[in-house]
Structure 1
């Protein structure tokens, strides 16, 4: 076997087991594998994830900090069970925070970052135009680029505190098949064009005003009974 040659590239960062466990649990909450209000049992999670109890408890603590898990000492640990009003409020507040990040980021995007954001938003718009499912990983990458460009530790902390719950409450209806593709396409196109033109105000405004355009989607989510009344 050839001996690997040393390079000047830094080694890939080694992920902590608790972060791997968190990612798996977060994905399971998003897609409904772990249902709203479901109680979590350490032994079952250990068996499912194939890890010890410690990374499981660490992941649960992080999920609780992000308001995705409720913990009542000596009583229960369970997935949150949001009401419909909490869903609407989370969308409204979350988009407001998102708008602040984007308004700061757009003027500071490098040419490479801007090109990648535009490409990803264009791909999302085309996917929605074709009636395809939302690609969450694409949106995550878009926001990683915005946060990198914004270079604000305060906004990064604010986003990290709001983004997971926003992702959960926005994505659960989509995983349940409640999607308004035309509205989603128009939004991604407007944001794409504003980013391409370097228009921070227009980009932020497209995000800030979006919840007000979603009443039809909100009504469909209410009718589907995804969230408690």
Structure 2
């Protein structure tokens, strides 16, 4: 298994959560590819921790749908599963709809400005074919409403299901179809600024439902689930 060329990248505090996030991010950003076998000893060496938090992290990642385990045989990065992605998409869209509905009455002018600035950076990143910057800006954009909503339960659900979609978003933002998200974001911002919570919430839901889990984006067959 090829592993990232970094060592000791994780602190000793909160080893379990940090190991989970580090491996999750490596799966989401494509460092660890769909179908790639995972070796807990190699992952532990990369992260600079013992194998115990790595094994616990892999169990959580399996529950999140990012890792597939066959006891006694293998642990690997899950192929992109269309059915699982659609399930995650439905939940994620509903959570962002709720976040915007709850956030609109609380949004300040500064937060609206922050949303516009994030979308400007998002558009520039897409134009430059900088997928990492596009993902970061997209997170910033949606994060304004999620933070303003002030709903911890909502954040917990998004923490579980968003990573499944992030792998597909990276592929979308690397394609021409990703450009359409800029206009969808602009509509959400305009409705938030107008104080139309219901329409803004619907627009946020539609934005997340616009991602097509069934699109293969030119992926090889081995990257796709059956």
TM-score range, shorter chain: 0.7 to 0.9
Whether the 8 Å contact between 1:125 and 1:188 is mirrored in structure 2 is no
Taking a change above 3 Å as real, the CA distance of residues 137 and 212 of structure 1, as seen in their structure-2 partners, is closer
Greater Rg over alpha carbons, structure: 1
1:108-164 Cα shifts (integer Å, max 9, x gaps): 224433332232123223443x35334222222334332222122332332223222
Aligned to 1:158: 157
Cα root mean square deviation, aligned: 3.0
Matches within 5 A, 1:67-216: 67-128=65-126, 130-134=127-131, 135-171=134-170, 173-174=171-172, 177-210=174-207, 213=210
Whether the 8 Å contact between 1:39 and 1:77 is mirrored in structure 2 is yes
1:71-127 Cα shifts (integer Å, max 9, x gaps): 344343222123334434543443233222222222222443333223212322344
Whether the 8 Å contact between 2:184 and 2:207 is mirrored in structure 1 is yes
Taking a change above 3 Å as real, the CA distance of residues 164 and 122 of structure 1, as seen in their structure-2 partners, is same
- How many residues are aligned here? 211
Alpha-carbon distance in 1 for matches of 2:209, 2:150: 29
Alpha-carbon distance in 2 for matches of 1:47, 1:154: 34
Alpha-carbon distance in 2 for matches of 1:213, 1:164: 17
Taking a change above 3 Å as real, the CA distance of residues 58 and 140 of structure 1, as seen in their structure-2 partners, is farther
Whether the 8 Å contact between 1:125 and 1:185 is mirrored in structure 2 is yes
Aligned to 1:32: 30
Q: Post-superposition shift, 1:41?
A: 0.9
Whether the 8 Å contact between 1:125 and 1:186 is mirrored in structure 2 is no
Whether the 8 Å contact between 2:100 and 2:200 is mirrored in structure 1 is yes
Q: Post-superposition shift, 1:24?
A: 2.4
Alpha-carbon distance in 2 for matches of 1:214, 1:161: 18
Instruction: State the SS of the aligned residue for 1:186.
Output: helix
Whether the 8 Å contact between 2:67 and 2:76 is mirrored in structure 1 is yes
Taking a change above 3 Å as real, the CA distance of residues 152 and 214 of structure 1, as seen in their structure-2 partners, is closer
Whether the 8 Å contact between 1:37 and 1:81 is mirrored in structure 2 is yes
Instruction: State the SS of the aligned residue for 2:195.
Output: coil
Taking a change above 3 Å as real, the CA distance of residues 211 and 117 of structure 1, as seen in their structure-2 partners, is closer
**TM-score where L is the length of structure 1:** 0.75
